[in-house]
Structure 1
Amino acid sequence: MELKGKRILITGGASGIGLESVKQFLALGAHVIICGRNQDKLDAVTKVLTQVTAIKCDVQDENNLKELYKEIVWLGGIDVLYNNAGVGTRPLNLGMKDSQHFVDASYEMNVNYLGMIRITDLFMDMLKSRKEAAIINTTSVLSYLPAVLAPTYSASKAAARFYTESLRVHLGVINSTVKVFELLPPLVETDLTAGLEEKMMTPEAVVKELIAGIKRDQYTIRVGGAKLLYTINRLLPGTAFGILNPKKKITPLLV
C-alpha cells in the first residue's frame, strides 16, 4: 500500500509509537491528523510539527467521537485510520481483594478494545468510500500470551487481535478494498513502560518495520522480539510464558 498523499488519523498520536508514526508518515508525504486526551501533549506536537492537525478526543467518549468525525469530514475525510490509543494500569495481585481492580480493568478494556471498535465503526463507511484505504490496529505480543503483571491489558490486546483478524475476513466477504493491518510490538520505550528494567525496542525501529510491512501489504506485522516470542510460544508455550513472566521479577511486585 502506498502512503504518500494519504490522509491518516492516528489515535494516541501525541506520544510513543503514535508520535513516531506521525514523523515517519509525514516524511513519506502523508497528511496526518492526531487525536488524544491531553491537550498539552497535542499542542507540543503541533508546535514542532506545524503541518499536523491535532484534535482533542477521548475514544471512550461517544460524544467526543461524534465531534471528531464531524471535524474530520470538514477537513476532507481520511484514507487511513490508525487505532493506536492504549492505556495500562499498575500491577495488582488478583488473589487479594482490591476495589481498584475492576475500575482499572474497565478503563483498559474501554480504551484498548471498545474504543477501537467505536471509532472503527464510526469511520467505516468513509473508509469504504475511498479508492485505497486501510485500518491499522496496534495490538501486542501479549495478545498471544499474558503478562501476569498486566492481565487486563493482555486480555484487551488479545480481544483487539481477534477483532482485527475477524474484521479483515468480514471486509473480504463483502468485497471491500479496505485493508486491515495489525502491528504486534514487544516492549517499546514509551511513557507506558517507563521505569521497567527490561530490554525494549525504540518507537523509531517499530514504526520502520510497520511501514515496511504496510508497503508490501503484510497484514500481520510482528516486530522485534515479538517475532521470536511468537515462534517460541507456538512450539513451547510453557517456555514462552516463563520468559515473559520470570518469577524472580514478578513475585516481589505481587506481594
Structure 2
Amino acid sequence: MDLRNKTILITGGSAGIGLEATKQFLEIGAKVIITGRSQDKLDSAKKLYPNVIAIKSDVANEEDAISLYNQVKSLGGIDILYNNAGVGVMPSNLSVASDKHFEGAEYEMNINYLAVIRLNNLFLDMLKSKKESAIINTTSVLSYVPSLLEATYSATKTALAFYTKSLREHLRIANSNVKVFELLPPAVETELIAHRKVKKMSPEKLIKGLIAGLQKDQYTIRMGYTGTFYYLNRIFPKLAFSLVNPKKAEKYLQ
C-alpha cells in the first residue's frame, strides 16, 4: 500500500502509540487527523506537529462519533482509519462478583470493541469510495493467550480479532477495495501498562513495524514476541498460558 499523500485518521492520536504514529505517518508524507478526549493533549500534539488536524472526540460516544465523521467529511474525507484508541482497567477487586469488575469490563468493551465497529460502520462508505483505502484495528497478544489479571481486556481484544478477520473476508467477498489490517502489539512502553514489570517494545519500533507491514500489504502484523506466542499457543497452549500467567501472579487473584 502506498501511504504517501494518504489521509489517515488516528483515534487516540494525541499520546503514546497514537502520537508516535502521528509523527511517523507525517514523516513519510501522509496527511494526519487525530482525535482524542483530552483537549490539552490534542493542543500539545498540535504544537509538536503543526500540520496535524486535531479534533476532540470520545470514540465511545455515539454523538461524538457522528460529529467526528461529519467534520472529517467536510475536510475531504480519509483514506485510512486507524483504530488505535484503547483502554485497560485493573479492577480494584479482582473477584468477578463485583460491581467495579462489571463497570470496568463495560468501559473496556465500549472503547476497545464497540466503538471500533461504530467508527468502521460510519466511515466504510467513505473508504469504499477511495481508489485505495484501509482500516487498521489494534488487537493484542492477549487475543491469543488471555491474562488472568486482565481477563476482560483480553476478551475485548479477542472479540476485536475475530471481528477484524470477519470484516476482511466480508469485504473480500464483496470485491471491495478496502484493506483490513490487524496490528498485534506485544507489551508496549505506554502509560496503560506502566505498572507491569515485563519486557516492553518502544512505540517507535511498533509504528515502524506497522508502516512496513502496511507497505507490504501484510494484513496480520505481529510485532515482537506476538508471533512466537501465536505459534507457541497452537503447539503448546499450556506453556503459552503459563508464560502469560506466571505462578507469582496468582497472589493477586486470591
When normalised by structure 1's length, the TM-score is 0.97
Change (3 A) 1:113 1:96: closer
Shift of 1:195: 2.0
| Pairwise CA distance, 1:227 | 1.0
Q: Which residue of 2 aligns with 1:254?
A: 253
Q: How many residues align?
A: 254
Task: Indicate the residue corresponding to 1:81 in structure 2.
Answer: 81
* 1:177 matched to 2:144: no
- Could you list the runs of 4 or more consecutive aligned residues of structure 1 that deviate by over 6 angstroms after TM superposition? none
Contact residue 141 and residue 185 of structure 1 kept, 8 A? yes
Q: CA deviation at 1:93?
A: 5.5
Which residue matches 1:207?
207
Give the distance between the partners of 2:65 and 2:96, measured in 1 at CA. Answer: 37
Q: Deviations over 1:112-143 (max 9, x none)?
A: 00000000000000000001100001100111
CA deviations over 1:70-94 (Å, ceiling 9, x no partner): 1101111000000011000014555
- Summarize the alignment of residues 203-242 of structure 1 with structure 2, pairs less than 5 Å apart: 203-242=203-242
Residue 48 of structure 1 aligns with which residue? 48
Q: What residue in structure 2 maps to residue 36 of structure 1?
A: 36
Q: TM-score, normalised by structure 2?
A: 0.97
Determine the structure 1 residue equivalent to 2:152. 152
Would the aligned equivalents of 1:92 and 1:254 in 2 still touch at CA under 8 Å? no
Q: 1:92 touches 1:149 (CA, 8 Å); kept in 2?
A: no
RMSD: 1.1
Q: Is the 8 A contact 1:232 1:240 kept in 2?
A: yes
CA distance in 2, matches of 1:34, 1:135: 15
Q: How far apart in 2 are the matches of 1:7 and 1:175?
A: 22
CA displacement, residues 173-228 of structure 1 (integer Å, 9 cap, x when unaligned): 11001000000011000110112111101111111111111111000000001111
Q: What is the identity percentage for the equivalent residue pairs of Structure 1 and Structure 2?
A: 58
User: Contact (CA 8 Å) 2:59, 2:111: kept in 1 or not?
Assistant: yes
* Other structure's SS at 1:149 match: coil
SS of aligned partner of 2:146: coil
Structure 2: runs of 5+ lacking an equivalent: none
